[in-house]
Protein backbone atom coordinates (compact mmCIF):
# COMPACT_ATOMS: atom_id res chain seq x y z
CA UNK A 1 0.00 0.00 0.00
CA UNK A 2 2.94 2.32 0.67
CA UNK A 3 4.57 4.07 -2.29
CA UNK A 4 7.83 5.93 -2.74
CA UNK A 5 6.21 9.22 -1.68
CA UNK A 6 3.70 7.84 0.83
CA UNK A 7 4.34 5.99 4.08
CA UNK A 8 1.21 5.05 6.01
CA UNK A 9 2.02 4.94 9.70
CA UNK A 10 -1.45 4.30 11.16
CA UNK A 11 -4.97 3.45 10.07
CA UNK A 12 -7.72 3.71 12.65
CA UNK A 13 -11.29 2.53 12.20
CA UNK A 14 -13.70 5.36 13.04
CA UNK A 15 -16.86 3.49 12.06
CA UNK A 16 -17.81 0.11 10.64
CA UNK A 17 -21.54 0.35 11.24
CA UNK A 18 -22.40 0.08 7.53
CA UNK A 19 -19.15 0.22 5.58
CA UNK A 20 -15.70 1.15 6.91
CA UNK A 21 -14.57 4.69 7.67
CA UNK A 22 -10.87 4.95 8.54
CA UNK A 23 -8.53 7.77 9.49
CA UNK A 24 -5.09 7.38 7.97
CA UNK A 25 -1.94 8.98 9.32
CA UNK A 26 0.86 9.05 6.76
CA UNK A 27 4.12 10.67 5.82
CA UNK A 28 4.07 12.40 2.44
CA UNK A 29 7.08 13.50 0.39
CA UNK A 30 6.26 16.83 -1.24
CA UNK A 31 7.66 18.30 -4.45
CA UNK A 32 9.99 20.41 -2.33
CA UNK A 33 11.69 17.26 -1.06
CA UNK A 34 10.32 17.64 2.46
CA UNK A 35 8.39 14.99 4.35
CA UNK A 36 5.22 16.05 6.16
CA UNK A 37 2.89 14.08 8.39
CA UNK A 38 -0.75 14.29 7.32
CA UNK A 39 -4.13 12.78 8.19
CA UNK A 40 -7.03 11.96 5.93
CA UNK A 41 -10.28 10.02 6.30
CA UNK A 42 -11.36 7.48 3.68
CA UNK A 43 -14.68 5.66 3.37
CA UNK A 44 -14.37 2.13 2.01
CA UNK A 45 -17.61 0.67 0.67
CA UNK A 46 -16.01 -1.59 -1.94
CA UNK A 47 -15.97 -1.16 -5.69
CA UNK A 48 -19.08 -1.02 -7.86
CA UNK A 49 -20.44 -1.25 -11.37
CA UNK A 50 -23.09 0.61 -13.34
CA UNK A 51 -24.81 0.09 -16.68
CA UNK A 52 -26.93 1.95 -19.21
CA UNK A 53 -29.38 -0.18 -21.16
CA UNK A 54 -30.13 1.12 -24.65
CA UNK A 55 -32.61 0.04 -27.30
CA UNK A 56 -31.19 1.33 -30.61
CA UNK A 57 -34.35 0.58 -32.61
CA UNK A 58 -36.69 2.45 -30.26
CA UNK A 59 -33.97 4.94 -29.20
CA UNK A 60 -34.87 4.43 -25.54
CA UNK A 61 -32.89 3.85 -22.35
CA UNK A 62 -33.61 2.09 -19.07
CA UNK A 63 -32.98 4.04 -15.88
CA UNK A 64 -33.97 3.52 -12.25
CA UNK A 65 -35.46 5.75 -9.58
CA UNK A 66 -35.05 5.30 -5.85
CA UNK A 67 -34.76 7.20 -2.57
CA UNK A 68 -31.21 8.32 -1.71
CA UNK A 69 -30.88 9.68 1.82
CA UNK A 70 -27.54 11.52 1.30
CA UNK A 71 -29.06 13.51 -1.57
CA UNK A 72 -32.17 14.22 0.49
CA UNK A 73 -30.21 15.73 3.37
CA UNK A 74 -28.25 17.78 0.82
CA UNK A 75 -31.39 19.33 -0.67
CA UNK A 76 -32.41 16.95 -3.47
CA UNK A 77 -35.99 17.84 -4.32
CA UNK A 78 -35.85 17.03 -8.04
CA UNK A 79 -38.93 14.82 -7.95
CA UNK A 80 -41.12 16.84 -5.61
CA UNK A 81 -41.16 19.15 -2.61
CA UNK A 82 -39.49 16.71 -0.21
CA UNK A 83 -38.84 13.36 -1.84
CA UNK A 84 -35.08 12.71 -2.16
CA UNK A 85 -35.67 10.47 -5.19
CA UNK A 86 -32.81 10.12 -7.65
CA UNK A 87 -32.90 8.93 -11.28
CA UNK A 88 -29.89 6.75 -12.03
CA UNK A 89 -28.41 4.08 -14.19
CA UNK A 90 -28.65 0.61 -12.68
CA UNK A 91 -25.72 0.07 -10.29
CA UNK A 92 -24.48 -1.93 -7.35
CA UNK A 93 -21.47 -3.09 -5.38
CA UNK A 94 -19.33 -5.95 -6.67
CA UNK A 95 -19.72 -8.00 -3.47
CA UNK A 96 -16.59 -10.09 -4.24
CA UNK A 97 -17.70 -10.78 -7.82
CA UNK A 98 -15.87 -9.60 -10.91
CA UNK A 99 -17.41 -6.41 -12.36
CA UNK A 100 -19.17 -8.08 -15.31
CA UNK A 101 -20.76 -10.78 -13.15
CA UNK A 102 -21.85 -8.15 -10.65
CA UNK A 103 -23.49 -5.87 -13.21
CA UNK A 104 -25.37 -8.76 -14.81
CA UNK A 105 -26.71 -9.62 -11.36
CA UNK A 106 -27.61 -6.04 -10.51
CA UNK A 107 -29.31 -5.50 -13.87
CA UNK A 108 -31.65 -8.42 -13.30
CA UNK A 109 -32.32 -7.49 -9.65
CA UNK A 110 -33.01 -3.81 -10.31
CA UNK A 111 -34.45 -3.65 -13.82
CA UNK A 112 -35.62 -7.21 -14.40
CA UNK A 113 -33.71 -7.54 -17.68
CA UNK A 114 -31.63 -10.70 -18.12
CA UNK A 115 -28.58 -9.82 -20.20
CA UNK A 116 -26.03 -12.12 -21.78
CA UNK A 117 -23.55 -9.54 -23.08
CA UNK A 118 -22.33 -6.14 -21.91
CA UNK A 119 -19.74 -3.66 -23.17
CA UNK A 120 -17.27 -2.17 -20.72
CA UNK A 121 -16.60 1.48 -21.50
CA UNK A 122 -14.53 2.90 -18.63
CA UNK A 123 -13.43 2.85 -15.00
CA UNK A 124 -13.56 5.89 -12.72
CA UNK A 125 -13.08 7.02 -9.14
CA UNK A 126 -16.25 8.97 -8.41
CA UNK A 127 -15.29 10.82 -5.22
CA UNK A 128 -11.53 10.37 -4.79
CA UNK A 129 -11.18 12.96 -2.03
CA UNK A 130 -13.02 10.81 0.48
CA UNK A 131 -14.27 7.49 -0.95
CA UNK A 132 -12.10 4.55 -2.09
CA UNK A 133 -14.70 3.19 -4.53
CA UNK A 134 -13.83 2.59 -8.17
CA UNK A 135 -16.81 2.28 -10.51
CA UNK A 136 -16.87 0.11 -13.63
CA UNK A 137 -19.10 1.48 -16.42
CA UNK A 138 -21.00 -0.65 -18.94
CA UNK A 139 -23.39 -0.33 -21.89
CA UNK A 140 -25.73 -3.02 -23.13
CA UNK A 141 -28.48 -3.25 -25.74
CA UNK A 142 -31.94 -4.52 -24.96
CA UNK A 143 -35.06 -5.09 -27.07
CA UNK A 144 -38.70 -5.81 -26.42
CA UNK A 145 -37.76 -9.49 -26.68
CA UNK A 146 -35.11 -9.37 -23.95
CA UNK A 147 -36.12 -11.73 -21.16
CA UNK A 148 -37.51 -9.94 -18.13
CA UNK A 149 -38.37 -10.62 -14.51
CA UNK A 150 -40.07 -8.32 -12.03
CA UNK A 151 -37.00 -6.29 -11.06
CA UNK A 152 -37.40 -3.58 -8.45
CA UNK A 153 -34.47 -4.57 -6.24
CA UNK A 154 -34.17 -7.00 -3.35
CA UNK A 155 -34.59 -6.92 0.43
CA UNK A 156 -35.66 -3.39 1.45
CA UNK A 157 -34.91 -1.80 -1.93
CA UNK A 158 -37.77 -0.01 -3.64
CA UNK A 159 -36.59 0.69 -7.17
CA UNK A 160 -38.72 1.94 -10.04
CA UNK A 161 -37.72 1.03 -13.59
CA UNK A 162 -38.00 3.87 -16.09
CA UNK A 163 -37.98 3.47 -19.85
CA UNK A 164 -37.40 6.86 -21.45
CA UNK A 165 -36.70 8.19 -24.94
CA UNK A 166 -32.97 8.85 -25.10
CA UNK A 167 -33.63 12.46 -26.15
CA UNK A 168 -35.77 12.95 -23.05
CA UNK A 169 -33.06 11.57 -20.78
CA UNK A 170 -30.56 14.01 -22.32
CA UNK A 171 -32.98 16.88 -21.80
CA UNK A 172 -33.48 15.86 -18.17
CA UNK A 173 -29.80 16.49 -17.50
CA UNK A 174 -30.28 20.11 -18.58
CA UNK A 175 -33.39 20.61 -16.49
CA UNK A 176 -31.79 19.08 -13.39
CA UNK A 177 -34.17 16.13 -13.26
CA UNK A 178 -31.12 13.88 -13.66
CA UNK A 179 -28.31 14.88 -11.30
CA UNK A 180 -26.51 11.57 -10.72
CA UNK A 181 -22.89 11.67 -11.88
CA UNK A 182 -22.54 8.12 -13.20
CA UNK A 183 -25.79 8.47 -15.12
CA UNK A 184 -24.70 11.72 -16.74
CA UNK A 185 -21.38 10.13 -17.74
CA UNK A 186 -23.03 7.15 -19.42
CA UNK A 187 -25.68 9.22 -21.19
CA UNK A 188 -22.99 11.56 -22.52
CA UNK A 189 -20.85 8.60 -23.56
CA UNK A 190 -23.72 7.08 -25.53
CA UNK A 191 -24.44 10.42 -27.18
CA UNK A 192 -20.80 10.75 -28.24
CA UNK A 193 -20.91 7.23 -29.68
CA UNK A 194 -23.98 8.19 -31.71
CA UNK A 195 -22.29 11.33 -33.03
CA UNK A 196 -19.19 9.35 -34.03
CA UNK A 197 -21.33 6.89 -36.00
CA UNK A 198 -23.15 9.74 -37.74
CA UNK A 199 -19.84 11.26 -38.84
CA UNK A 200 -18.73 7.92 -40.26
CA UNK A 201 -21.77 7.69 -42.54
Beta partners for residue 98, in sequence order: none
pLDDT at residue number 125: 98
Task: Give the residue-averaged pLDDT of 78-91.
Answer: 83
Structural domains in the chain? 6-44 (no CATH), 48-200 (3.90.79.10)
Helices (H), the chain: 69-73, 99-111, 166-175, 181-200
pLDDT at residue number 198: 83
pLDDT at residue number 81: 55
The residue ranking higher by pLDDT, 148 or 32, is 32
Among residues 178, 153, 163, 157, the alpha carbon closest in space to that of 76 is found at 178
Task: Give the residue-averaged pLDDT of 66-84.
Answer: 82
E-strand stretches of 20-165: 20-29, 35-44, 48-55, 60-67, 85-88, 90-93, 119-125, 134-141, 160-165
Cα gap 173→63, rounded to integer Å: 13
Percent of the chain having pLDDT more than 70? 95
pLDDT at residue number 1: 43
pLDDT at 104 over 90: yes
pLDDT at residue number 17: 92
pLDDT at residue number 66: 93
pLDDT at residue number 79: 62
Cα gap 25→47, rounded to integer Å: 23
- Tens of pLDDT, residues 114-145: 998 999 999 999 999 999 999 999 999 999 88
Q: What is the dihedral of CA 112, 86, 163, 174, to 10 degrees?
A: -150
Question: What is 138-152 written as a DSSP string?
Answer: EEEE--TTS-B---S
- Tens of pLDDT, residues 35-70: 999 999 999 999 999 999 999 999 999 999 999 999
Amino acid sequence: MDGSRVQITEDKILSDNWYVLKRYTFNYLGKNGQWTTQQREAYDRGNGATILLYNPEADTVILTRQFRLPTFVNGNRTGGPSDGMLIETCAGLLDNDDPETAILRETEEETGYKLTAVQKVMEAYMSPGSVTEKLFFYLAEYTTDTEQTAGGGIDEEEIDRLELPFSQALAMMKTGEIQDGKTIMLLQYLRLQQLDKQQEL
